[in-house]
């Protein structure tokens, strides 16, 4: 069985948190801070460019 890299797990957390919040609140009303908090990422990950870098 293949294991996921640490970056892959981070990406999954971000995408999962974002999708859940988008479904609940809508895309336009969801903030990066909410996604980061829901994904349980370190405080340094609170910019949109950081999130983009972690999901690509």
pLDDT reported for residue 24: 97
Q: Does any domain span residue 1?
A: no
Please say whether the beta carbons of 41 and 10 come within 8 A: yes
Residue 43 confidence (pLDDT): 67
Q: Provide the number of structural domains found in the chain.
A: 1
Query: What range does the domain containing 46 cover?
Result: 6-55
For the beta carbon of residue 53, count every other beta carbon within 10 angstroms. 11
The pLDDT of residue 1 is: 43
Q: Where are the alpha helices (DSSP H) in the chain?
A: 6-25, 32-38, 48-55
pLDDT for 6 equals 60
* Tens-digit pLDDT profile for residues 1-56: 445 566 678 889 999 999 999 999 999 999 988 998 999 887 665 667 776 776 66
In a domain, residue 15? The reply is yes
Residue 43 lies in a domain: yes
Give domain status of residue 37, yes or no: yes
Specify if 48 maps to a domain.
yes
Copy the structure tokens of residue 55: 């999901």
Q: What is the CATH number of the domain that holds 11?
A: 1.10.10
DSSP state of 43: G
Determine the pLDDT at residue 8: 79
6: CB partners within 8 A, 6+ apart: none
């Amino acid at each position: 069985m293949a294991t996921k890299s640490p970056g892959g797990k981070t990406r999954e957390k971000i995408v999962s948190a974002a999708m859940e919040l988008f479904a609940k609140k809508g895309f336009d009303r969801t903030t990066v801070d909410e996604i980061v908090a829901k994904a349980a990422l370190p405080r340094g990950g609170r910019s949109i460019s950081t999130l983009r870098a972690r999901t690509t």
